[in-house]
Chain A
Amino acid sequence: MSLSALTKPWAATSYGFLDASAKRELRRKMLKAIAVPGCQMPYASREVPMARGWGTGGLQVTLTLVNPASTIKVIDQGADDGVNAASIRRFISRVSGATETWDTLGASIIQSRHRVPEETLGADQILVLQVPNPEPLRGVEPNMSIARQMHADADYGRLWLTLYEQIVRKGRIMQGAAYPSLVNGRHVMTPSPIPRWDVPKLHMAKHLTFLSAGREKRLHAVPPYTRVEPLVFSDRPYRVEDHADLVCRRSGISGYFMNEIPQDHGGSAFEVSDSNLGIKAIRRAEGEPVEIGATWYQDGEFSA
């Protein structure tokens, strides 16, 4: 039997690297994930030309969503120009015919590693977050069978207890990223290792968010206009990183999440983490007609 005999004939859906049956399975799981917000759906994570742990979960979801009319943006820790981000973006574009972009406003699909762009996403955009560990209970319950029962019973007391212990030991909640958040009042999810700064951007957002872990073979979703509430005590309000007053040394903008760059003299300099926003700000300052969209934060205060 020849290879061509085993291969399905070309069809209009034959793009995006994954075969049609793989995409169908992923789409079904994605629809389930939308139907039960925050609930982890297992899926048969396929081999893609990238090592597991480098964004294969996000890539498979993106390849399932993408079509030749899509415009794709890929960011790695906020930057469009990282090697990983550029390679993934180019790969997706090459296998699907989708247009590449750095512009948040122009993208229809945004695949991201650990950041949500600063510009507000719209109803016609989909955010795909790469997730290393989708199980928020792993730190408190190593037995995954029991963890699944705990999800079924909404038994999240030990996650709260972890936060209680942090306040007792350190005087404040120390959870920096992957802050456990209650989705639609039912399931607690880990919103991938996005910083605390980004978690409020998922609450009642217009856009659809998928969070996918290729190595762990699980995905979950936050549909548009869904409540995403970080676990907080009623008398200890949720606090984002103290970045409101930091100024980007390149673009001069402030009030956004910054990367800290250690300096030789022992101090730190800061650069805006969303590189595309920084570039837009620089170009606008140089007199170019650049459109900067509305941002989730205004002057360091969440406003959306």
Chain B
Amino acid sequence: MSIDMTSAPAALLPPQLMRTEALLTMSGLSKTYGSVRALRNVDVTVYPGEVMGIVGESGSGKSTLLRMMNLEDTPDQGDYRLQLPGKDDDNLFALDRYQRRMLCAHHIGIVYQNPHQGLLMRHSSSGNVAERLLIAGERSFDVLRSKARDALDASEFPLARMDARPAELSGGMQQRVQLAKAIALEPALLLLDEPTTGLDVSVQALVLDTLKRLQRDRRITMVLVSHDLGVIRTMADRVLVMRHGEVVERGLADQVFQDPQHPYTQQLVHAKL
């Protein structure tokens, strides 16, 4: 059973977002890998300043959806539009590789579950942040240095270790470097792919605190993918529940967790409890 609530979005929005135009709109996304249907007719809308949580079991399509948001993959069908100041409201999947790269460099940040995917392990932590600024065209060493320091500081990374290589750091520190890299250019959209998976509980709490503070202070729009309902419950304003490549339920986080409608969501919530 799929509960389609896209026809009445206002009822699903937190009061502060009710009159806001969507930042991200994806509609009709479908993707097949060989015989596996990774996404089936998925619609997503994300509003500025909110945290959208995506939950589901492994293989439900949540990471595929996030990769699409980061323009790393193209669906078989579907549209993707971002409302950015001074940019046309075109389907982003129609962009070529170079245009995608430049758009992502300037407007989308991502934190991967595996730091090896998001970081250059041979380079310094500050260098990893600087790389993003370099792609965006910054050519002053002093500005690179100072912006990297600011981003690391905002991610609560100890500045005394800003030139240490990520390989020399703990998992929590590596995630902070990824986070600093992602927010260095103050992106319109921050994508978080299981950012706390693999971290011990105390470090998890610290990373989540940092994310919450960033969201509160900078009003960064976030899409958070996790199979940990506790993380989603702590962070998200709205939730999207996925199963077998489909969205089976969506709604305000409190609503979904307190009164799940779909049997799969009920199963998830009760399993957690």
Residues of A within 8 A of B (CB): 149, 152-155, 157-158, 160-161, 164-165, 167-169, 233-236
CB <8 Å contact, B134 and A160: yes
Provided the pairs A155-B101, A157-B135 are in contact, do residues A233 and B127 lie with their beta carbons within 8 angstroms? no
- Do the beta carbons of B123 and A153 come within 8 Å of each other? no
Chain B residue at minimum C-beta to C-beta distance from A236? B141
**For chain A, what secondary structure do more than half of its interface residues adopt (helix, strand, loop), or is it mixed?**
helix
B4–chain A nearest beta-carbon distance, Å: 40
A158 touches B131 (CB 8 A): yes
In contact, A234 and B139 (Cβ under 8 angstroms)? yes
Which residues of B have CB within 8 Å of A165?
123-124, 127
**Is the CB–CB distance between B140 and A161 below 8 Å?**
no
Q: Cβ of B189 < 8 Å from any Cβ of A?
A: no
Q: Out of A155, A167, A233, which one reaches B139, CB within 8 Å?
A: A233
| Contacts A161-B134, A165-B123; A234 near B140 (Cβ below 8 A) | yes
B130 interface neighbour in A153, A155, A164, Cβ under 8 Å: A164
Contact A233 B141 (CB under 8 A): yes
- Closest B residue by C-beta to A163: B141
Interface centre among B120, B130, B140, B141 (most CB of A within 10 A): B141
Could you list 10 examples of A-B contacts with CB < 8 Å? A149-B97, A155-B101, A160-B134, A161-B123, A161-B131, A168-B124, A233-B140, A233-B141, A234-B140, A234-B141
B155 within 8 A of A: no
Task: Report yes or no: B98 in contact with A168, Cβ–Cβ below 8 A.
Answer: no
A155 contact set on B, CB distance < 8 A: 101, 135
Minimum CB distance partner of A159 in chain B = B134
| Number of A-B residue pairs at CB separation under 8 A | 47
The complex places the Cα of A248 from the Cα of B176 at a distance, in Å, of: 54
A111 to chain B, nearest CB (A): 35
Q: Measured between alpha carbons, how far is A161 from B139 in the docked complex, in Å?
A: 10
In-complex Cβ contact of B144 among A152, A154, A164 (8 A): A164
Does A157 contact B134, Cβ atoms closer than 8 Å?
yes
Chain B residues with CB under 8 A of A235: 140-142
CB pair B135 A164 closer than 8 Å:
no
Query: Given A161-B134, A168-B124, A168-B127 in contact, is the A153-B140 Cβ separation under 8 Å?
Result: no
Q: Which residues of A contact B98 (CB under 8 A)?
A: 152-154
Nearest CB on A from B78, distance (A): 25
State whether the Cβ of B221 lies closer than 8 Å to any Cβ in chain A.
no
Complex: how many Å from CA A164 to CA B143? Answer: 12
A167 to chain B, nearest CB (A): 6
A155 to B142, CA, bound (A): 21
Nearest 10 A/B pairs, CB to CB: A233-B141, A157-B134, A157-B135, A160-B134, A153-B98, A234-B140, A161-B131, A234-B139, A235-B140, A236-B141
Flag if A157 contacts B97 (CB, 8 Å).
no
Looking across the interface, which residue of chain B has its beta carbon closest to that of A232?
B139
- Taking a contact as CB atoms under 8 Å apart, the answer to whether B127 and A161 are in contact is yes
Q: Which of B97, B101, B141 contacts A164 (CB 8 A)?
A: B141
